[in-house]
Amino acid sequence: MSSDFKKHKSSFRDPSGFVFIYQNVLYRQINQSYKDHYSHFISSGLYDKLVADNRLIGHEELQQNLSGDQAWSLTLKPEFIPFISYPYEWCFDMLKDAALTTLEVCLEALSYGMILKDATPYNIQFRKGKPVFIDTLSFEKYNPDMPWIAYRQFSEQFLAPLALSHYFKEPFQKILSNYLEGIPVSMASKLLPIRSKLNLNVFLHLHLQGKLASRGRKPQKNSNSFSEKKLRNILISLKDVITAFQFDSPSGIWSNYYKEANERSATSNDIQPTSTGSYIQIKKEIIEKWIDGHSFQSGIDIGANEGVFTKLLADKGINMIAADSDHYSVNKLYADSKITGLFNILPLFIDFTNPSPGIGVNNTEREPFTERMKADLVVALAVIHHFIIEKNISFQQVFALLKALGQFVIVEYIPLEDEKIRLMLKRKAVIPPYSEEIFVDAYEEHFVLLEKLPIGLSGRILYFLKKR
């Protein structure tokens, strides 16, 4: 086999085909066993319909056997998705939209005599701010006598985390990184509050399923008691209940951050103001000046909050990832991006003191966040002092993280004398090593300084760095 060929580590479960990299380009192989289903998928018009509706990524067919595999039938070159994110990195509304897209795609497929043979959030990615189905091999010919094979999978991967988040107003999707196959229905049923049993759809799909599933009945493959109408009823019922789920937590701890920051003048308490404009405004002007000289394609904003700076950079045409550990902010940014149409923002729910690890078989099935993320520009504004003071992480560790994420870095240094840091220090018995000298020593290990500018007279400093 050619050394140019590399099978994708997450593509091994489905015998219909697999994804691989050939000469640095991503392809999908269709095996002989899936040939009939694929032919129907194309000839029925389902593929064209889903691509036209922006619910499935498009592909190009190639008659070359690039893998050299005997099972080969056809090679597809799918549309490239620049960044692959996982459900445990999404906010509630993203998982909800992904679930609804899966159900809509399945309902559409039924109209063309096909059905989804699996229903996992890993088949969905976010393209231009919207969920899109990426697994072309998930469609198989529909047999009206058979129920939905992916019903349990859908319930555990989508319905259970969404229901738990809805009832407890906590982001339960995070635990999908521990439960790769989804939260077991029997477990979800035990965790959900009693009042959830009053909802007929939740009762049927989670509580009843959880109770019956734990009895261990064998699958009845030759059941003839099913029909398309019954299946549609199940899919519509799932769609109804998920549409009604809400994560309407009033606010996160960071929800007033920008209001407060905007009101803050760009001056310290002890110095007479000589500069006009807010702290946020001056920061924006400095960042705009720095990025204008570069042609950045991709960027990540660490601790993006509601995305004031992410939106600034996205407006400049940079494909931005806005990451924050505050779920409320991420959910709000996702909702705002849908309204404003700023579709080059991908909000992600990530704690950078514990970014997503590699999980699944050999810990390689789903890659760690730091291996997937290779941005042109990393922005870390008013955030690293939290890592150092609140979490006792060193500047060296912070810059090792920034180095892993991208080429250029804009980072804000906040001095110990800053009002916000003084407040944080009141809660600490021991102050971790913290000074501008330590900050400079730490970045010099991995980066060179391009420019540094003070943010008005606030005492805070912006650094523009480039990887060595």
Partner 1 sequence: MLYHLLYIDPGSGSYFIQAIVAAALGIAFFFKNIVLYIKHLFYRIFKKKSKMP
Pairing of strands 17-22, 25-31: antiparallel
Measured CA to CA in angstroms, residue 420 lies from 31, 252, 268, 324, 388 at distances of 59, 18, 11, 19, 14
Say which amino acid occupies 299. Answer: G
Q: Which is nearer to partner 1, 360 or 454 (by Cβ)?
A: 360
- 243 lies in the site for partner 1, by CB under 8 A: no
Build a one-symbol-per-residue string for 8-47: x at contacts with partner 1 by CB under 8 A, - elsewhere: -----xxxx----------------xx-xx----------
Q: Does 2 bind partner 1 (CB under 8 A)?
A: no
Helix 279-292 and helix 308-315: axis angle, to 10°? 30
Strand partners, 451: 464
353 and 328 in contact (C-beta within 8 Å)?
A: no
Contact call for residue 117 and partner 1 (CB under 8 A): yes
- Do 324 and 304 touch, CB atoms closer than 8 A? yes
Instruction: Return the SS3 of 407.
Output: strand
Taking residue 435's Cβ as centre, other Cβ atoms within 10 Å add up to 12
**DSSP-assigned beta bridge partners for residue 278:** 265
Rounded-to-integer distance, Cα 101 and Cα 176, Å: 19
* Nearer residue to partner 1 within complex by CB, 151 or 290: 151
Min separation Cβ 140 and partner 1, Å: 6
Instruction: Supply the DSSP symbol for 366.
Output: B
- Where in 199-228 is the site for partner 1 (CB under 8 A)? 200, 204-205, 208-209, 212-213, 215-221, 223, 225-226
Please, what is the minimum distance in Å from the beta carbon of residue 168 to partner 1? 24
| Residue 467 neighbours by CB under 8 Å, 6+ apart | 403, 406, 407, 408, 409, 446, 447
Cβ proximity to partner 1: between 37 and 452 the closer is 37
CB neighbour class for 255 (10 Å; exposed up to 12, middle 13-18, buried from 19):
middle
Nearer of residues 22 and 226 to partner 1, judged by Cβ: 226
Q: Which stretch binds partner 1 (CB under 8 A): 79-87, 233-241, 295-303, 422-430?
A: 233-241
State which of residues 140, 301, 306, 367 lies at the interface with partner 1 (CB under 8 A).
140
Q: How far is the CB of 294 from partner 1 (least distance, A)?
A: 46
Please identify which residue in 110, 183, 188, 234 interacts with partner 1, judged by CB under 8 A: 234
Compute the distance between CA of residue 184 and CA of residue 115 in angstroms, rounded to an integer: 23
Which residue number, 38 or 334, has a Cβ lying nearer to partner 1? 38
**Residues 165-204 interacting with partner 1 (rule: CB under 8 A):** 185, 200, 204
**What letter does residue 400 receive in the DSSP assignment?**
H
When the beta carbons of 139 and 279 are compared against partner 1, the nearer one is 139
Among 153, 267, 278, 396, binds partner 1 (CB under 8 A): 153
Smallest distance, partner 1 to C-beta of residue 205, A: 7
For residue 184, the minimal CB distance to partner 1 (Å) is 9
Query: Applying CB under 8 A, does 144 fall inside the site for partner 1?
Result: no
Which residue number, 212 or 448, has a Cβ lying nearer to partner 1?
Answer: 212
Which CA distances in Å does 135 have to 26, 72, 78, 100, 385? 13, 17, 10, 16, 41
Q: Is 129 left (phi over 0), alpha (psi -120 to 50) or beta?
A: left
Angle at 55 between CA 339 and CA 371, to 5 degrees: 80
| String of contacts with partner 1 for each residue 305-344, x by CB under 8 A | ----------------------------------------
Find, among 238, 233, 237, 243, the residue nearest to 110 by Cα: 233
Site residue total, partner 1 (CB under 8 A): 44
Task: State how far Cα 251 lies from the chain centre.
Answer: 21
Which C-beta is closer to partner 1: that of 185 or that of 401?
Answer: 185
Write down the least CB distance from residue 100 to partner 1, Å: 18
* Near partner 1 by CB under 8 A: residue from 231, 291, 342, 455: 231
Choose which of 151, 167, 254, 257 interacts with partner 1 (CB under 8 A): 151
Shorter beta-carbon distance to partner 1: residue 59 or 141: 141
Shortest reach from residue 233's CB to partner 1, in Å: 4
Shortest distance, position 220 Cβ to partner 1, whole Å = 5
To partner 1, the closest distance from the beta carbon of 18 in angstroms equals 12
- From the CB of 203, what's the least distance to partner 1, in Å? 9
Could you tell me the smallest distance in angstroms from the CB atom of residue 56 to partner 1? Answer: 19
CA distance 387 to 302: 12
Q: Give strand pairing partners of 19.
A: 28
327-340 and 92-111 are packed helices; what angle lies between their axes, rounded to 10 degrees?
Answer: 50
Report d(CA 1, CA 20) in Å as an integer.
13
Residue closer to partner 1 by CB (options 223, 297) is: 223
Report in angstroms how near the CB of residue 95 gets to partner 1 at its nearest. Answer: 20
The site for partner 1 (CB under 8 A) is made up of: 13-16, 33-34, 36-37, 117-118, 140-141, 143, 146-153, 185, 200, 204-205, 208-209, 212-213, 215-221, 223, 225-226, 230-231, 233-234, 237
